[in-house]
């Protein structure tokens, strides 16, 4: 054990290794990512990451788990500042989805770019499932349907996810420039229109329905 490791509480060392791993991933990418490089950045012995995470896959799984937790927190933070109206809540979740991707592109790509297959890591599966369930519940609140049985709701979930995730992936790659280079308020205004186009049309209220009947009459 090195002098640096002695200064860490057990939980603090794990957190420090994850922080170092995120920095390594962001600066060097997955191809040059290794337990040794993470240990060096954290200032601990080469054995420390293996002790906590087993191997590179274990460390990446732990980092992806942390990513999904923060990903969900970012969406909820956006939603907390908006009205409780279901469509607005869903739009704000979409904004948060893209905010996270733009702020943490390497971590976002690790979370969604690695083929985890049948996830065996319990914590990772729980965090990934929680993030997906958040999307499902927000879409269902708009459609009013049961995501387990209603085909229209399931189609809406796929449509919204494809739209938001596709935008996030494009934007962390620098495209389209009119979005990535826009001021935050302008970007959100454009995203509102784009994401909104993937949502089911709002049901007509009594006044709208009466107006429509008058027109048809």
Q: What is the full per-residue pLDDT of the chain (217 aa) written as tens digits? A: 454 555 565 559 999 999 999 999 999 998 889 999 999 999 999 999 999 999 999 999 999 999 999 999 999 999 999 999 999 999 999 999 999 999 999 999 999 986 665 567 889 999 999 999 999 999 999 999 999 999 999 999 999 999 999 999 999 999 999 999 999 999 999 999 999 999 877 765 544 444 444 444 4
Q: Which of 133, 87, 123, 128 is nearest to 110 (CA)?
A: 128
- Which domains are delineated in the chain? 1-54 (1.10.10.60), 62-200 (1.10.357.10)
Contact 110, 177 (CB under 8 A): no
Is residue 9 reached through a cis peptide bond, with omega within 30 degrees of 0 on the bond before it? no
Residues in the chain: 217
Angle formed by the axes of helices 105-113 and 56-80, to 10°? 110
Q: Which of 101, 119, 98 is nearest to 109 (CA)?
A: 101
pLDDT recorded at residue 211: 41
pLDDT recorded at residue 120: 76
In the DSSP assignment, the letter for residue 144 is -
């Amino acid at each position: 054990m090195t002098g640096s490791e002695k200064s860490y509480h057990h939980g603090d060392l794990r957190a420090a290794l994850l922080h170092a791993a995120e920095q390594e991933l962001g600066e060097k990418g997955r191809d040059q990512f290794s337990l040794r490089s993470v240990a060096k950045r954290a200032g601990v012995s080469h054995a420390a990451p293996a002790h906590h995470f087993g191997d590179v896959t274990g460390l990446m799984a732990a980092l992806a788990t942390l990513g999904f937790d923060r990903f969900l927190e970012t969406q909820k933070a956006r939603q907390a500042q908006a009205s409780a109206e279901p469509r607005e809540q869903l739009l704000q979740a979409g904004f948060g989805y893209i905010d996270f991707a733009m702020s943490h592109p390497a971590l976002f790509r690790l979370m969604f770019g690695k083929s985890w297959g049948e996830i065996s890591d319990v914590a990772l599966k729980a965090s990934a499932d929680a993030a997906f369930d958040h999307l499902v519940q927000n879409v269902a609140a708009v459609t009013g349907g049961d995501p387990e049985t209603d085909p229209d709701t399931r189609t809406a979930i796929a449509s919204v996810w494809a739209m938001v995730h596709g935008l996030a992936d494009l934007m962390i790659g620098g495209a389209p420039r009119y979005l990535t280079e826009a001021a935050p308020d302008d970007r959100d205004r454009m995203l509102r229109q784009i994401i909104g186009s993937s949502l089911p049309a709002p049901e007509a209220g009594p006044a709208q329905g009466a107006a429509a009947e008058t027109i048809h009459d």
